[in-house]
Amino acid sequence: MNSEPVIIPRPDHPISRSQVSPNALRVLYRLKDNGYIAYLVGGCVRDLLLGREPKDFDVATNATPNQVKRLFRNCRLVGRRFRLAHIHYQDEIIEVATFRALTPEEPDEGTSVQDVPEKGAGEGERPRPPRHVVSDEGMVLRDNVFGTPEEDALRRDFTVNALAYNIADFSIIDYANGMEDLRRGVIRTIGDPLVRFTEDPVRMLRAVRFSANLGFTVEDATWQAIRELAPAITRATAPRLYEEVLKLFLSGEGERVYQLLRQAGLFSYLFPRFGAWLDRESDGFPHSQVGKALEWADDQVGGGEPVSPPLLLALMFGEYVEERTAELVEAGMPVPDAVNEAMAGFLGEQAPIIAIPQRVALAVREILLIQHRLRKIPGKRPQGVLARSCFAEALAYLRCRCAVTGEGGKILTWWERYARESVMPPVEPVADGGEAPPKRRRRRGRRRKPPAA
The backbone torsions φ and ψ at residue 86, rounded to the nearest 5 degrees and listed phi first, read -105, 120
Of 331, 421, 320, 329, the residue nearest 375 (C-alpha): 329
299 is catalytic: no
DSSP character string of 24-65: HHHHHHHHHHTT--EEEETHHHHHHHTTPPPS--EEEESS-H
Residue 244 DSSP SS3: helix
End-to-end CA distance of the chain: 100
Q: Which of 47, 58, 152, 174 is catalytic?
A: 58
Question: Do residues 386 and 410 make contact, with C-beta atoms less than 8 angstroms apart?
Answer: no
136 is catalytic: no
Residue 265 zone, left/alpha/beta (φ > 0; ψ -120 to 50; rest): left
Distances (CA, A) of 232 to 273, 405, 424: 17, 36, 51
Q: For the beta carbon of residue 267, count every other beta carbon within 10 angstroms.
A: 21
Q: For the beta carbon of residue 42, count every other beta carbon within 10 angstroms.
A: 23
Q: Which of 47, 143, 152, 157 is catalytic?
A: 157
56 is catalytic: yes
Largest Cα–Cα separation, the chain: 104
Question: Do residues 21 and 94 make contact, with C-beta atoms less than 8 angstroms apart?
Answer: yes
Contacts of 430 (CB under 8 A, 6+ apart): 436, 437
The backbone torsions φ and ψ at residue 263, rounded to the nearest 5 degrees and listed phi first, read -65, -35
The set of catalytic residues is 56, 58, 157
